[in-house]
């Protein structure tokens, strides 16, 4: 059980290199390294007795009272396109109440708001984790959805 978890005024940089590697994946363990380690593990020469039948382990469950993220900034840099893409999300705020990873729990309250250039996006409603289901009211204000000319050469 997580009672309350909150964080404020953070910054996250997400970048994708020209080779397609996303910087945040470096925070996760490499599956190829784990596979190589398993491949190097010696195989026993004698047969090993099968373990006694045991009850399957119950998956961990997490229940959160309140999770809040306030005044975050996310900067995204993508070097893969011919013209690199730069995007900044500001004033990101997220609030989630009474969420659980246990199956078939009642939905909790969720809300998210962010600013993207001059516009804003927000949603409020309910959601659950297992299964993933959400009933949200979306609000979008002053977001330019026309193709951008910022990367076009000047004539």
Q: Which residues neighbour 14 within 8 Å (Cβ) at sequence distance 6 or greater?
A: 22, 23, 24, 74, 75, 76, 77
| pLDDT for the residue numbered 59 | 76
- Whether the pTM exceeds 0.75: the reply is no
pLDDT along the chain (155 residues), means of 10: 92 96 89 50 51 68 93 97 94 96 93 95 95 95 72 43
Burial (0-12, 13-18, 19+ Cβ within 10 Å), 118: exposed
Q: What one-character DSSP code corresponds to residue 10?
A: -
| pLDDT for the residue numbered 115 | 97
């Amino acid at each position: 059980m997580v009672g309350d978890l909150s964080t404020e005024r953070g910054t996250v940089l997400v970048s994708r290199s020209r080779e397609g590697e996303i910087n945040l994946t470096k925070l996760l363990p490499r599956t190829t390294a784990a596979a190589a380690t398993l491949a190097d593990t010696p195989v026993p020469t004698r047969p090993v007795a099968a373990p006694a039948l045991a009850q399957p382990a119950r998956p961990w469950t997490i229940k959160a009272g309140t999770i809040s993220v306030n005044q975050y900034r996310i900067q995204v840099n993508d070097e893969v396109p011919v013209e690199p893409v730069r995007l900044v999300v500001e004033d990101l705020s997220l609030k989630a109440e009474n969420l659980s990873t246990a199956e078939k729990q009642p939905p909790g309250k969720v809300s998210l708001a962010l600013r993207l250039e001059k516009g804003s996006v927000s949603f409020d409603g309910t959601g659950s984790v297992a299964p993933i289901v959400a009933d949200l009211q979306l609000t979008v204000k002053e977001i330019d959805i026309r193709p951008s000319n910022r990367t076009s050469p000047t004539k």
